[in-house]
Structure 1
Amino acid sequence: MASKNPLRKLLRMTGFDLLRVDSLDYLERAAQLYDTENQLVKALHDRDINHVLDVGGNVGVYGLKLRGKNYTGKITSFEPIPSVYDKLEKCAANDSNWDTQCIALGDQQETREINVSNNTVSSSFLGMNKKHTDAAPESRYESKVEVTVKTLDGIWSELVKANEKVFMKIDVQGFEKEVLAGASDSLKKIQGLQLECSFASLYEGEMLFPEMYQWLQNEGFTLWLMTPTFIEPKTKQLLQVDAVFFRE
């Protein structure tokens, strides 16, 4: 039977077709499919995660996103730079289930200088490579400040109750392997991880994605979700992703 819709007839001539769907339902399902934050929080609910460690909390954006997607469990955010921590503390002030600590996590307890970037989110203990500053000039370092560093293993018993299931997000600008090195015992009790992983060297001495992927596999974690977060504006090269891993 010939199509009475001229647009549909034209589309069929080019190998496509026009189908009727419930547009609101379709758009809602499509939005859910590509809403990685929604996917993450659903995964937290499915696994009964009730405590998220937000390592590299900055001004609280990650915690706000979790709350916006109806995660109601405990959040503990870590931000070592005092001027940034003040904003984080204010962000979490009215949330009784959101704690904040003005420390960094690393592989040893110490006082250490951190490089503070112009945009604050690119601040790191590590030197920044030219590839990073070329791709994002606003990330250049502008000052340094001494901060307190502790290991997760050293403070785990103070943070986590025996009945809590823990997910840890690490966004520390190339310092991920040091955070994990200081969490060798704690990691065995953690159900899932979210890390910012690089495919190109943006910070001096950082662990790149292939090595991080293999290391986490050996620790019993399975890659579950990846979201592009940093693309070189001129070449469109993928530089960084947020990678989510769970124990399965």
Structure 2
Amino acid sequence: MSDQTRANRARETAKLLIRRTLQRADLEIGRGSYAGRLVRTLDARGIDTVLDVGANVGQYATLTRSAGFAGRIISCEPLGGAFAELARRAGRDDRWTTLNVAVGAETGEATINVSANSFSSSIRGMTDAHLRTAPGSRFVATEVVPVTTVADLVATHAVDPARTLLKIDTQGFEGEVLRGAGDLVGRVAAIQLELSFVELYDGQLLFDELVGAMAHDGYRIQQLEPGISDPDGRMLQVDGLFVLASGD
């Protein structure tokens, strides 16, 4: 057996051991991170702005930064507690703007249901399917929050749609956010959506409806990232990154 063969076998044995360890903890490892693949897409398409709708405490922006994205980030988060942490994280980054606001179909105010885990909070009601899968996501309070639109954000902050990723993580409110973008849908270079296969929030648009709408507006799927699954292993949700097919 050659030294190279021994080295290859040792490497594969080590990888198998790591995978088994992660599997026991119900964790997974793959070839490259989602954030790394995302940033490669942004670089390839000349995207230098991320409009981060539904930022929570800044997890998405932080991971995107750590993967090498150096452009502008505009993060919107309506909940007071989550926004305070978001603003703290962004405080030392002069290319990261934070806004304490929800984003929807039109400007005004809305009542948001605050979940125990914060990141499952939504303007929509929560279904039993969601609660069975994630009991810790139950609603525990409400907040009245200001609402703006993607169109207003783009105009106010001088955003170039052709160089922008619109990321929407609004817990079942994706359709309203897209409506508030108006004719920017079809002009924004890339859109990331949370896509549910079953109704987790009352009246939300589901995977087929949103994928169909994206295709109608000229987008194709670039990446899918697994989300939550129910106790019997059924996948309930994924994150989908869409890019304009005309950019290929």
With the shorter chain as reference, the TM-score category is: 0.7 to 0.9
Q: 1:185 Cα shift?
A: 2.2
Rg: which structure is higher?
1
Residue 140 of structure 1 is matched in structure 2 by 138
Residue 88 in structure 1 maps to residue 96 in structure 2: no
Residue 12 of structure 1 is matched in structure 2 by none
| Paired residue type of 1:97 | R
* Matched residue SS, 1:49: coil
What is the count of residue pairs matched by the alignment?
229
| Paired residue type of 1:46 | A
- The alignment-based identity, stated in percent, is 33
Whether contact under 8 Å (2:186, 2:219) holds in the other structure is no
> Normalization by structure 1: what TM-score?
0.86
| Paired residue type of 1:243 | G
Residue 247 of structure 1 is matched in structure 2 by 244
- How many Å separate the matches in 2 of 1:154 and 1:55? 13
Whether contact under 8 Å (1:156, 1:186) holds in the other structure is no
Residue 198 of structure 2 is matched in structure 1 by 200
Mapping of 1:94-113 within 5 angstroms?
94-113=92-111
- How many Å separate the matches in 1 of 2:220 and 2:162? 21
- How many Å separate the matches in 1 of 2:30 and 2:57? 26
Residue 235 of structure 2 is matched in structure 1 by 238
Structure 1 residue runs without a partner (length 5+): 6-16
Q: CA RMSD in A?
A: 2.3
Residue 57 of structure 1 is matched in structure 2 by 55
Deviations 1:100-135 (A, max 9, x none): 101111001111100000000000000000010110
- How many Å separate the matches in 2 of 1:78 and 1:163? 17
- How many Å separate the matches in 1 of 2:160 and 2:197? 36
Structure 2 residue runs without a partner (length 5+): 16-28
Q: 1:188 Cα shift?
A: 3.3
Deviating more after overlay: 223-232 vs 158-167: 158-167
* Matched residue SS, 1:241: strand
Deviating more after overlay: 202-211 vs 163-172: 163-172
- How many Å separate the matches in 1 of 2:113 and 2:32? 34
Q: 1:154 Cα shift?
A: 2.4
Deviations 1:78-107 (A, max 9, x none): 001112111100010000000010111100
* Matched residue SS, 1:193: strand
